[in-house]
Amino acid sequence: MVNNNNNIMRTRIFFYVLLTAVLLSACGEDKRFEIYSDDKVPPGIPSVDSIKRLYGGARFFFRPPSDDDVLSVNAEYTAANGKLYTFSSSYFNDSLDIYGIGDTLVHRINLYALDRAGNKSEMLPVSVRPLEPVVSRVEKTLKVIPGFSSFYVDWYNELMHTVNVYVDFNYTQDGQEKSHKIIYTSLDTTNRYFIRNLDILKPSDKIDVSVRVEDLYGNSTNALNKGPIYLLQDELISKAQWVLPETNDSIAGIPQCFGNEKEGRLRNMVDDVIDSYLLANYMHTGGRGRTGTIGGNVPWNLIIDLGGYYELSRVVTHQRHGTAGALVPMARGQYYGSENVGLFSVYYLEEEVDTTYWVKMSTHKIPVPVAMNDIDMFRQGQAGDMVYMFPDEPKFSPRTRWFRYEALANFGDNYTGTGANCLSEITLYGKKSN
């Protein structure tokens, strides 16, 4: 019993000593972060062990000075726009990145240490020769692709630095030259932006297009000529002859979805009326997926008999607004939310002599609008979401009588949510097939 008490006592003493050491160490480290208002002594100069060249910048591997109150190691340089930019790294780290240089020439970067009182060390000038600038890397990926009564601009931004893409285009209308400039700002890796509403132009009308890339540091590429381009032309396909198969009737092995839950009706999909605060007009699967059983959710398929043979070009889908009778009529409602379809695929039916089968044309994510207030979100939802059947190479589909829309996910969890059970309207573009 005595031995046990001695062991317990020794254990308590050991933990007490350990705790005291930790607290003393923490107190010593906390002094680094105290504000020394009367400290006028600058810290020592940091040292650079090595430099790694980056696209449009460099990475410095450094050792901070030994001063107790050093907080960071900083680097600064004057960019092409004449502004002084400062980049900072905690003294806990061993490297510091700078970027925003617009060429591959040798540049002088000044490094220094900063202490808690705001004192700067002497500058350490370091020469770097960066790799290819960000703007020219983005420029190499730029594509201008003509589509149906519109064209779009694609680019790839692997470094995810904010860039501005300037699109200038002009054409002649009724003998007068029309000029337009559009600026797109993005830091996304992949980008696609549409220039729409060019229905006034015929396929024979020439459009001259030039693009350039600029970053936030004043670096810019020269205007790059991407024209002339000529747009494709399609037309709205009338719904007068469309027929919807009955629920669970199968076409080429795929059953028609259920859409009559709550006040939703399958027939609402093709009546040219969209759901809004004025009128509830949509379909609702009630959670029935492809199997037709409740709880299956997605996928489900909406199949349309076009009543004749067409070559398809575009599809416009309208989501359920879901606020009929709301006190705030132009609210966002359920647009770009959990009940609506955010990810879907489109198919046409290939009919051969002895067989029929569905051919996938493309899969689409409906982008969620950013930096919009509720009224703008409402307007965007009311306008509908248009996509090409063949987005990477706009063209007409082969001749077909049947169109299939496959709902895959809602907008939630990065387009993996299974709650997509509503849709309001489908509109198709193309041309009558001979």
Indicate the Cα dihedral angle 373, 375, 381, 385, nearest 10°: -60
Query: How do residues 240-257 score in pLDDT, each as one tens digit?
Result: 999 999 999 999 999 999
pLDDT score recorded for residue 148: 95
Looking at beta carbons, which pairs linking 284-288 to residues 24 or more positions away fall under 8 Å? 284/259, 284/260, 284/320, 284/421, 284/422, 285/257, 285/258, 285/259, 285/261, 285/421, 285/422, 286/258, 286/260, 286/261, 286/262, 286/421, 287/261, 287/421, 288/257, 288/258, 288/261
- Distances 298 to 146, 365, 421 between C-alpha atoms, Å: 34, 15, 8
The domain boundary, picked from 88, 110, 128, lies at: 128
Question: Do 336 and 427 share a domain, yes or no?
Answer: yes
Residue 39 placed within a domain? no
Distance of CA 362 to the CA centre of its chain: 18
Question: Do 258 and 404 share a domain, yes or no?
Answer: yes
Query: How do residues 292-334 score in pLDDT, each as one tens digit?
Result: 444 458 899 999 999 999 999 999 999 999 876 566 677 888 9
pLDDT score recorded for residue 330: 76
Question: Do 393 and 322 share a domain, yes or no?
Answer: yes
Question: Do 156 and 53 share a domain, yes or no?
Answer: no
pLDDT score recorded for residue 12: 53
pLDDT score recorded for residue 29: 45
Residue 422 placed within a domain? yes
- Length of the chain, in residues: 434
Residue 244 placed within a domain? yes
Question: Do 6 and 91 share a domain, yes or no?
Answer: no
Cross-strand pairs, 385: 317
pLDDT score recorded for residue 296: 53
Question: Do 336 and 256 share a domain, yes or no?
Answer: yes
Q: Tokens 């600029």 correspond to what residue?
A: 214
List CB contacts of 432: < 8 A, sequence separation 6 or more: 308, 309, 310
Query: How do residues 109-122 score in pLDDT, each as one tens digit?
Result: 999 999 998 999 99
The domain boundary, picked from 225, 257, 284, lies at: 225
Q: In this structure, what DSSP letter does residue 120 have?
A: B
Residue 42 placed within a domain? no
Residue 22 placed within a domain? yes
Query: How do residues 154-169 score in pLDDT, each as one tens digit?
Result: 999 999 999 999 999 9
- Count of CA atoms in the C-beta half-sphere (13 A) of 280: 14
Question: Do 415 and 275 share a domain, yes or no?
Answer: yes
State the Cα–Cα distance between residues 199 and 148, nearest whole angstrom.
8
Which residue type is seen at 150? S
Confidence of residue 2 (pLDDT cuts 50, 70, 90): very low
Between 90 and 9, the higher pLDDT residue: 90
CATH number reported for the structural domain that contains residue 375 in this entry = 2.60.120.260
Instruction: End-to-end CA distance of the chain: give it in Å, rounded.
Output: 103
Confidence of residue 227 (pLDDT cuts 50, 70, 90): confident
Please give the structure tokens belonging to residue 79: 């960019």
The domain boundary, picked from 174, 201, 225, lies at: 225
Question: Do 401 and 324 share a domain, yes or no?
Answer: yes
Residue 116 placed within a domain? yes
pTM of the entire structure?
0.78
Domain span including residue 246: 235-432
Choose the weakest-confidence range: 15-19, 93-97, 423-427.
15-19
Question: Do 123 and 140 share a domain, yes or no?
Answer: no
pLDDT score recorded for residue 23: 45
pLDDT score recorded for residue 46: 95
Residue 424 placed within a domain? yes
Confidence of residue 403 (pLDDT cuts 50, 70, 90): very high
CATH number reported for the structural domain that contains residue 119 in this entry = 2.60.40.10
Cross-strand pairs, 165: 184, 213
The 3 state secondary structure assigned to 380-411 is HHHHCEEEECCCCCCCCCCCEEEEEEEEEECC
Question: Do 79 and 138 share a domain, yes or no?
Answer: no
Query: How do residues 66-112 score in pLDDT, each as one tens digit?
Result: 988 899 999 999 998 889 999 999 989 999 999 999 999 999 999 99
Domains identified in the chain, total number: 4
Question: Do 89 and 159 share a domain, yes or no?
Answer: no
Which residue type is seen at 141? T
Residue 259 placed within a domain? yes
| Residue range 219-243: mean pLDDT, rounded | 95
pLDDT of 16 > 70? The answer is no
Question: Do 343 and 376 share a domain, yes or no?
Answer: yes
